[in-house]
Chains A and B, each alone.
Chain A
């Protein structure tokens, strides 16, 4: 059983479109991180959210941590081909014991 679920599993869109991907759990997390991984490379940290309801913006990317700290979303505005990659959420459970990654959403932005 995955501690973190991500949806959709795959997403293919045209350049300029907006999109949202989700990270959900039945458990409470003390913090969540979003990473992007490109083929042949390791994941790169995009953001860390620690407070329920927190919203962080990174250029065209908006990250939100759910009020109950069980879910998070990543919204990309006006997607570009350079946004293509595997988006992974990762978090520490509320007991501070386990750091786990979700299975990822594979995004493809077509020019």
Chain B
């Protein structure tokens, strides 16, 4: 079974530029998550989708971050404009259902560096 795919693996941009990350979850997984992991910290949930609807985006900085999950499969996370403090690893995860303790399967992440 293929795992969660993410691209790109690495991205370097200058502040005020825009960037987008892509995630393809495990086939059949209804729930998709985006996390931000700053160096030395645990992942922080940014947004959770159930199929193509948003379940929780309470910690998403909506003035600069946006995410969508078209057709309930792939998802993109966008930052516009980027700030220095956005430098982090962005992790995508998926789970079969939306239960909070359901096993989440993580992708390898995209490491973003904002200069």
A residues whose Cβ falls under 8 Å from a Cβ of B: 4, 30-31, 33, 40-45, 48, 50, 88, 90, 92, 96, 99-104
Contacts and interface: CB of A to CB of B under 8 A. Distances in A.
B42 interface: yes
A69 B65 CA distance: 34
Contacts of A88: 42-43
Interface string B103-115: 1101111000000
Contacts of A101: 42-44
B101 A48 contact: yes
Given A42-B91, A43-B106, A44-B106, A103 B41 contact: yes
B60 interface: no
11 contacts: A30-B100, A42-B106, A42-B109, A43-B106, A45-B103, A48-B101, A48-B103, A88-B42, A92-B100, A101-B44, A103-B41
Interface residues of B, number: 17
Q: Is the interface of B mostly helix, strand, loop or mixed?
A: loop
B108 A41 contact: yes
B108 to A, nearest CB: 5
Contacts of A42: 4, 91, 93, 106-109
A1 to B, nearest CB: 13
Nearest to A102: B42
